[in-house]
Structure 1
Amino acid sequence: MDHSTNKGQFEAQHASGTDVGLTGANDAEMHHRRSSSTDFQADQALEALGYKPELSRSRSTLQVAFMSFVLASIPYGLATTLYYPLIGGGPVNIIWGWLGVSMIIVCVAASLGEITSVYPTAGAVPPHLTNWCEALQRVLSGFHACSPSWRRLASWICGWLYVVGNITITLAVNFGTTLFFVACINVFEKEPGVGVFEASTYQVFLIFLAITLFCNAVSALGNKWLPILDTVAIFWTFAGVLAIMICVLVIAKNGRHSAAYVFGHFEANSGWPDGWSFCVGLLHAGYATSSTGMIISMCEEVHQPATQVPKAMVLINLANGQPVPTILKDAVGSAQGAIGLLIPIMVLALICGIGCTTAASRCTWAFARDGAIPGSRWWKTVHPGLDLPLNAMMLSMVVQILLGLIYFGSSAAFNAFSGVGVICLTAAYATPIAISLANGRKHLVDAKFSLGKFGVPANIIALAWSILAMPLFCMPSYIPVTAATVNYAPVVFVGATLISAAWYVVWGHKNYDGPPTNDSTF
Structure 2
Amino acid sequence: MGYKSELVRTRSTWHVAFMSFVLASIPYGLATTLYYPLQGGGPAVVIWGWILVSLIILCVASSLGEITSVYPTAGGVYYQTFMLAPARIRRVSAYICGWCYVVGNITITLAVQFGTTLFFVACVNVFTDEDGNGIWGGEAGPPAWQIFLTFVGVTVVCNIISTCGNKYLHHLDTFAIFWTFAGIIAILVTVLAVAKQGRHSAKYAFTDFEPTSGWPAGWSFMVGLLHAGYATSSTGMVISMCEEVQHPATQVPKAMVITILINTVGGLLFLVPLMFVLPDLAMLVGLANGQPTPVIIKSAVGSAGGAIGLLLPLMVLAILCGVACTTAASRCTWAFARDGAIPGSQWLSQVHTKLELPFNAMMFSMVVQIALGAIYFGSPTAFNAFSGVGVISLTLSYAAPIAVSMLEGRRQVKGGKFYLGQWGWVLNIVALAWSCLALPLFCMPAYVPIPVQNINYAPVVLVGFVVIASAWYILWGRKNYRGPPTESVGLHPTASNQAADINPPNKKD
Query: Given the two structures, how large is their TM-score scaled by the length of structure 2?
Result: 0.90
Q: 1-side partners of 2:489 and 2:156: how far apart?
A: 45
Cα pair 2:158 2:323 within 8 Å, conserved: yes
Q: Which residue of 2 aligns with 1:38?
A: none
- Is 1:180 paired with 2:102? no
Counterpart position of 1:117: 69
Partner residue of 1:436?
Answer: 405
* Alpha-carbon distance in structure 1 between the residues aligned to 2:14 and 2:230: 24
Amino acid at match of 1:73: S
Return the alpha-carbon distance in structure 2 between the equivalents of residues 296 and 139 of structure 1. 16
One-letter amino acid of the structure 2 residue matched with residue 68 of structure 1: S
Other-structure match for 1:371: 340
Say if 2:350 and 2:360, in contact at 8 Å, map to a contact too. Answer: yes
- Work out the CA distance in 2 between the residues paired with 1:192 and 1:415: 30
1:465 corresponds to which letter in structure 2? Answer: W
Q: Counterpart of 1:28?
A: none
Q: Which residue of 1 aligns with 2:270?
A: none
Higher RCO (CA 8 Å, separation ≥ 6 residues): 2
1:77 is the counterpart of 2:12: no
Letter of the 1:308 partner, please give it.
Q
- Equivalent position of 2:94 in the other structure: 155
Distance 2:436 2:130 in 1: 47
For 2:312, give the aligned amino acid: I
Counterpart CA distance in 2 for 1:138 and 1:64 is 24
| Contact 2:62-2:427 within 8 A present in 1 as well | yes
Question: Pick from 25, 39, 43: which aligns with 1:91?
Answer: 43
Deviation at 1:193, TM superposition (A): 3.7
Correspondence for 2:83: 138
Once the two structures are TM-superposed, the CA of residue 65 in structure 1 deviates from its matched residue by 1.0
Residue 191 (structure 1) aligned with residue 130 (structure 2): yes
Structure 2 counterpart of 1:232, one-letter code? F
| 1:209 corresponds to | 152
Where does 1:297-312 land on structure 2 (aligned, <5 Å)? 297-312=240-255
Cα deviation, residue 395, structure 1: 0.2
Match of 2:172 among 217, 229, 248: 229
Q: Does 1:238 align with 2:181?
A: yes
1:89–1:266: 8 Å Cα contact kept in structure 2? yes
The C-alpha deviation readout for 1:391-446, integer Å capped at 9, x for no partner, is 00000000000000000000110011000000000000011111111211010111
2:106 pairs with 1:167: yes
Deviation at 1:470, TM superposition (A): 1.1
Secondary structure of the corresponding residue to residue 56 of structure 1: coil
- Contact persistence 2:179–2:313 (CA under 8 A): yes
How far apart, in 1, do the equivalents of 2:330 and 2:105 lie?
A: 9
| CA distance in 1: counterparts of 2:215 and 2:430, whole angstroms | 26
Q: TM-score, normalised by structure 1?
A: 0.87
2:319 maps to 350
The residue that corresponds to 1:495 in the other structure is: 464
Distance 1:135 1:509 in 2: 20
Per-residue Cα deviation, 1:266-312 (whole angstroms, up to 9, x for no partner)? 00010101000000000000000000100001000000100101111
1:185-220 deviations in whole A, cap 9, x for unaligned?
000001344100011100000000000000000000
1:67 aligns with 2:19: yes
8 Å contact 1:371–1:512 — kept in the other structure? yes
**1:53 pairs with 2:5:** yes
Which residue is 1:483 aligned to? 452
Q: How far apart in 2 are the matches of 1:484 and 1:77?
A: 25
Deviation at 1:521, TM superposition (A): 5.1
Tell me if the contact between 1:220 and 1:390 (Cα under 8 Å) persists in the aligned partners. yes
Q: In 2, distance between residues paired with 1:243 and 1:294?
A: 29
Matched, 1:107 2:59: yes
1:384 aligned onto 2:338? no
In the alignment, the residues of structure 2 paired with residue 495 and residue 121 of structure 1 have an alpha-carbon distance, to the nearest angstrom, of 28
Aligned to 1:42: none
* Superimposed CA distance per residue, residues 82-118 of structure 1 (whole angstroms, 9 cap, x where no aligned partner): 0000000100000000000000000000100010110
Partner Cα separation in structure 2 for residue 450 and residue 261 of structure 1: 42
Q: Give 1:10's aligned residue.
A: none
AA matched with 1:294: M
| Same amino acid, percent of matched pairs | 66
SS, match of residue 129 in structure 2: strand
Q: How far apart in 2 are the matches of 1:182 and 1:520? A: 52
Distance 2:338 2:439 in 1: 28
Q: Could you report, residue by residue, the CA deviation over 1:27-69 in whole angstroms, capped at 9, with x for unpaired residues?
A: xxxxxxxxxxxxxxxxxxxxxx111100000112211111011
Who is 2:278 aligned against? Answer: none
What letter matches 1:338 in structure 2?
A
Moved over 3 A (4+): none
Tell me the matched-pair count.
461
Residue 262 (structure 1) aligns with = 205
TM-fit CA distance, 1:250: 0.2
Q: Measure, in 2, the Cα distance between the counterparts of 1:102 and 1:449.
A: 20
Contact 1:72 1:316 in 2 (8 A): no
Question: How far apart are residue 135 of structure 1 and its match?
Answer: 2.0
Work out whether 1:397 is the aligned partner of 2:340. no
Q: What whole-Å deviation, never above 9, does each CA across 1:208-238 have from its counterpart, x for those lacking one?
A: 0000000000000110011110010011000
Q: Quick one: distance in 2 between partners of 1:169 and 1:420?
A: 8
Unpaired runs of at least 5, structure 1: 1-48, 126-131
